[in-house]
Amino acid sequence: MTAAPEDRFFRQECYIDGRWVSGPDRITVNNPATGEIIGAVPKFGRKETAAAIDAAHAAFLLWREKTAAERGEICRKFYQALMDNQDALARILTIEMGKSLREAKGEVAYAAAFFKWFGEESRRVYGDVIPSPWPDKRILVTKEPVGVVGSITPWNFPTAMIARKAAAALASGCTIVAKPASQTPFSATAYGVIAEDAGVPKGVLNIITGSAAAIADEMCENPKLRKITFTGSTEIGKSLASKAMLYMKRVSMELGGNAPVIIFDDADLDRAVEGAMISKYRNSGQTCVCANRILVQAGVYDRFAEKFAAAAKKLRVGDGLDDGVEQGPLIDDSAVVKVEQHIEDATAKGAKIIAGGKRHAKGLT
């Protein structure tokens, strides 16, 4: 099942300088639950990224002059649009990413909350008065918007991660060029529709899809772009930060997690299992804070393992659009292969499989 063609939030073009633009080279996008091709987006590179940065830079000169109240009102409109269209946006998210519709709806609300919070905070960007060592001088500190921001976001929270970055940028008076993951571009291009509805001036919010390497290189090297914000793997984050530092650009990096769950002998095992299930299986285990190992003290190891395996076996697996589904597919086949490699490594070192251990009969991934 695909997004309905008449769904106005489902856009297969990029949003640059207030216009919908496309190109001859395309990136196809699959529904990970069915393998069905649901659409395609432009495969843009450095030239188009430079154009988006030019548009954002021109818009910045005017956007920064908006009052905090005006910028906050735009953020409020984003919040309201996300909440008013929660079902449609969640459906797009589930189709391209795979998570259950219930989780997708929660993510849209989570994304909306960023616009609400940052919009309210825009009124409270206070400065400082510093005691002066000179009797005839005062020292004042004012906070100014950085300029054009480039954001690169992952596929696991395609609606929320853009919101976290775009809301902060817009509220503070910055403009933004946002590059979403190629696996999940449609949750991002939907923001172009919302920007039009909210009356965002052209060039303030730009969404570009395409070659990650080419777009990132242009962001790092283009002098009109002043800050890069990235959520993704530690490996890519290190590379991106090192390139940005060559041009003395500000960076914000949210990189890979390393999250153990530790259970001691005196733990309430039922609560421990409940917490571990939430931590491990949120978004089918595809978050940066999901548990990647569970350490259990010897005295409760067997009982915890039994209870945890029983809980895992009860999870309902399937297409995220189906009623009651709790676990959708992994994002793509390479993710499945990675899990299989972990299983092979663990069993080779003495681990015993007590639940699962192989691909589910229902899914491609």
**Which residue numbers are catalytic?**
254, 288
DSSP code, position 210: B
- Alpha helix ranges (H) inside 269-352: 269-281, 301-313, 333-348
Residue 345 one-letter amino acid: D
Q: Could you tell me where the DSSP H helices lie in 65-211? A: 68-84, 86-97, 101-121, 160-172, 186-198
Task: Work out the end-to-end distance of the chain between its first and last CA atoms, rounded to an integer number of angstroms.
Answer: 17
- In the chain, the largest separation of any two C-alpha atoms, in whole Å, equals 78
Q: How many residues would you count in the chain?
A: 365
Residue (of 182, 160, 157, 169) closest to 228 by Cα position? 169
Alpha-carbon separation of residue 144 from 65, 122, 220, 326 (angstroms): 10, 12, 21, 45
Q: For residues 336 and 330, is the Cβ–Cβ distance under 8 A?
A: yes
As a dihedral over the C-alpha atoms of residue 107, residue 20, residue 145, residue 118, rounded to 10 degrees, the angle is -20
- 3-state DSSP assignment of residue 121: helix
Sign of the CA dihedral 48, 51, 57, 63?
negative
Which candidate, 38, 25, 229, places its Cα nearest to that of 147? 229
For residues 279 and 259, what is the distance between their CA atoms, to the nearest angstrom? 9
Tokens coding 79 = 């919040």
Residue 107 to residues 87, 99, 114, 190, 222: CA-CA distances in angstroms? 11, 10, 11, 14, 32
